[in-house]
């Protein structure tokens, strides 16, 4: 599994992240959270095509 990176700019909440990454996509891509090293499923896509997921433990968005 690939190490992930924090999404920039940082989202203040999961709701803010989901607003910025409005499309739900089953990408099948998992990354290692840069904070807690748990698996983060990248299930959302932003308008620019960027994919991301939310780490509940770190309360922060991660991507590739």
Among residues 5, 27, 35, 46, which is the contact residue for Zn ion, using CB under 5 A? 35
Establish if 7 lies at the interface with Zn ion (CB under 5 A).
Answer: no
Establish if 29 lies at the interface with Zn ion (CB under 5 A).
Answer: no
Nearest to residue 38, comparing CAs of 22, 59, 17? Answer: 59
Write down the least CB distance from residue 60 to Zn ion, Å.
7
Binding site for Zn ion (CB under 5 A): 33, 35-36, 55, 57-58
């Amino acid at each position: 599994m690939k190490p992930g990176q924090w999404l920039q700019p940082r989202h203040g909440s999961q709701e803010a992240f989901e607003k910025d990454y409005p499309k739900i996509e089953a990408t099948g891509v998992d990354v290692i959270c840069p904070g807690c090293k748990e698996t983060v499923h990248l299930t959302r896509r932003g308008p620019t095509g960027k994919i991301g997921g939310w780490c509940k433990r770190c309360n922060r968005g991660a991507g590739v």
